[in-house]
């Protein structure tokens, strides 16, 4: 029996809505980004985020239904991001999901945001097969996971302090770029020159699969303070920052494949949109006989498609419920949703 799942993502600063068909795949998806609104404040303002989600969720649901040529009565189940994320922002998606599902008498399922990211490369063609190693690199998380199936996740290593995305964003801020600065820093780095500055690669040889990025931020702070802040200087620093982050991510990803004996590496999360990182990982891993999988660029950063998709996979395991009491989990460890 085929199933149409509506996915709602509202954990942070994007409202993402999508419709996923269990046999035909993604039917439609839409996104409203709040980046321009938060940029003015140099970071996400939680209360503004919640209010903006309220404004956009229902119109975007209407939009995807229209694009897919469906009505709300065609929806069989609703998946929403239950956490982790901003409490108020999560509540918007969770309450719309449950209210709509109650009205339609269909099940809901709360999805872990990182599980959405983790499974998003399966939306692409070619898709990886289980088992694989996933490098999860978002604004708040940097983790290496072994993925044996839906719900079968083993943590191999993670950051002890800042996430890779945070390292990009904080460095970008020091370089005078907006928020979130990852993409802007990458853009600036493309005009930077190699070998002008040497930045630390924390824990590169720690022998485990953990990361640390906070020392990098301190080094960038010192460097920018001492610099002349000329455009070329800033570009050279951006280049060095990006190189340092990519070096560490590539090194640890290779080590994770070696340790698990697996050959497929899946990249998920917003930092996975970084082109230099993509090229570096591809050449590094393929040289060693492995294969790298990326979600489509549009599904790297937060989106509704990954939530609809993860929801559809969980619903196939009979995990949906017609119980419309809900809570959200602003803090939620991915290992808590392991099903075996
Ligand atoms: O997964 P995501 O959209 O949201 C979270 O769940 O955190 O990731 C956002 C992060 C931000 O830190 C942003 O700066 C970073 O992804 N990012 C990038 C690029 N595009 C987005 N970092 C480096 N290069 C990019 N091109
Ligand atoms: Zn995310």
CA of 171 to the centre of ligand 1 (A): 13
Question: Of all atoms in ligand 1, which is nearest to the CA of residue 169?
Answer: 14
Q: What's the confidence (pLDDT) of residue 179? A: 84
Give, using CA atoms, the residue closest to atom 2 of ligand 1. 270
Q: Please, how many CA atoms are within 13 Å of residue 186, restricted to the half-sphere of its CB?
A: 17
Q: What's the confidence (pLDDT) of residue 73? A: 98
- Category of 139 on φ-ψ map: left (φ > 0), alpha (ψ -120 to 50) or beta: alpha
Helix (H) or strand (E) holding 90: helix 87-104
The CATH number of the structural domain formed by 4-118+299-337 is 3.30.420.40
Q: What's the confidence (pLDDT) of residue 43? A: 87
CA of 55 to the centre of ligand 2 (A): 21
Q: What's the confidence (pLDDT) of residue 335? A: 87
Helical pair 231-260 and 182-189, crossing angle rounded to 10 deg: 110
Q: What's the confidence (pLDDT) of residue 319? A: 86
CA nearest to 78, candidates 118, 107, 35, 103: 107
Q: What's the confidence (pLDDT) of residue 318? A: 85
Q: What's the confidence (pLDDT) of residue 1? A: 83
φ, ψ of residue 151 to 5 degrees: the values are 85, 0
The CB of 301 under 6 Å from ligand 1? The reply is yes
Residues found in the chain: 340
Q: What's the confidence (pLDDT) of residue 340? A: 66
The CB of 303 under 6 Å from ligand 1? The reply is no
Q: Decide: 155 and 115 in contact? Cβ < 8 Å.
A: no
- Category of 207 on φ-ψ map: left (φ > 0), alpha (ψ -120 to 50) or beta: left
Q: What's the confidence (pLDDT) of residue 26? A: 98
Taken in order 287, 289, 290, 296, the sign of the CA dihedral is positive
Q: What's the confidence (pLDDT) of residue 52? A: 97
Helix, strand, coil percentages in the chain from 3-state DSSP, rounded to 5:
45, 20, 35
CA of 180 to the centre of ligand 1 (A): 7
Domain 4-118+299-337 and domain 128-294 have a common topology: yes
Question: Of all atoms in ligand 1, which is nearest to the CA of residue 181?
Answer: 14
The CB of 138 under 6 Å from ligand 1? The reply is yes
CA nearest to 203, candidates 165, 154, 145, 249: 249
CA nearest to 78, candidates 45, 55, 102, 62: 102
Residue with tokens 């035909």: 24
- pLDDT tens per residue, the chain (340 residues)? 899 999 999 999 999 999 999 999 999 999 999 999 998 898 899 999 999 999 999 999 999 999 999 999 999 999 999 999 999 999 999 999 999 999 999 999 999 999 999 999 999 999 999 999 999 999 989 999 999 999 999 999 999 999 999 999 999 999 999 888 999 999 999 999 999 999 999 899 999 999 999 999 999 999 999 999 999 999 999 999 999 999 999 999 999 999 999 999 999 999 999 999 999 999 999 999 999 999 999 999 999 999 999 999 999 998 899 999 999 999 999 989 998 6
Ligand found nearest the CA of 272 = 1
User: Which residues are 154's β-sheet partners?
Assistant: 146
In eight-state DSSP terms, residue 12 is S
Ligand found nearest the CA of 165 = 1
Q: In the CATH hierarchy, which top-level class contains the domain 128-294? A: alpha beta
Instruction: Domain ranges for the chain, please list them.
Output: 4-118+299-337, 128-294
């Amino acid at each position: 029996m085929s199933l149409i799942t509506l996915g709602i993502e509202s954990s942070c600063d994007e409202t993402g809505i999508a419709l996923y068909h269990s046999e035909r795949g993604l039917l439609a998806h839409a996104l409203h980004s709040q980046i321009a609104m938060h940029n003015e404040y140099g970071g996400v303002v939680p209360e503004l985020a919640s209010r903006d989600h309220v404004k956009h969720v229902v119109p975007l649901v209407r939009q995807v239904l229209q694009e897919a040529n469906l009505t709300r009565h065609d929806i069989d189940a609703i998946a929403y991001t239950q956490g982790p994320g901003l409490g108020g922002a999560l509540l918007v998606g969770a309450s719309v999901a449950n209210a709509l599902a109650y009205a339609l008498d269909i099940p809901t399922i709360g999805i872990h945001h990182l599980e959405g990211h983790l499974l998003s490369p399966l939306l692409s063609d070619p898709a990886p097969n289980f088992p694989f190693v996933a490098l999860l690199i978002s604004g708040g998380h940097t983790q290496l996971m072994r993925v044996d199936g839906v719900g079968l996740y083993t943590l191999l290593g993670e950051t002890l302090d800042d996430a890779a995305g945070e390292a990009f964003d904080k460095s970008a801020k020091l370089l005078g770029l907006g928020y979130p600065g990852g993409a802007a820093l990458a853009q600036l780095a493309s005009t930077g020159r190699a070998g002008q500055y040497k930045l630390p690669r924390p824990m590169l040889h720690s022998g485990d699969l953990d990361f640390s990025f906070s020392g990098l931020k301190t080094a960038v702070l010192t460097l920018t303070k001492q610099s002349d802040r000329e455009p070329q200087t800033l570009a050279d620093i951006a280049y060095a920052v990006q190189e340092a982050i990519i070096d560490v991510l590539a090194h640890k990803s290779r080590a994770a494949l070696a340790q698990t004996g697996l050959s497929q590496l899946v990249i998920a999360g917003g930092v996975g949109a970084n082109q230099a990182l993509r090229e570096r990982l591809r050449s590094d891993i393929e040289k060693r006989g492995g294969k790298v999988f990326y979600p489509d660029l549009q599904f790297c950063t937060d989106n509704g498609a990954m939530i609809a998709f993860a929801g559809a996979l969980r619903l196939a395991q009979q995990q949906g419920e017609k119980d419309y009491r809900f809570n959200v989990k602003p803090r939620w460890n991915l290992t808590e949703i392991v099903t075996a």
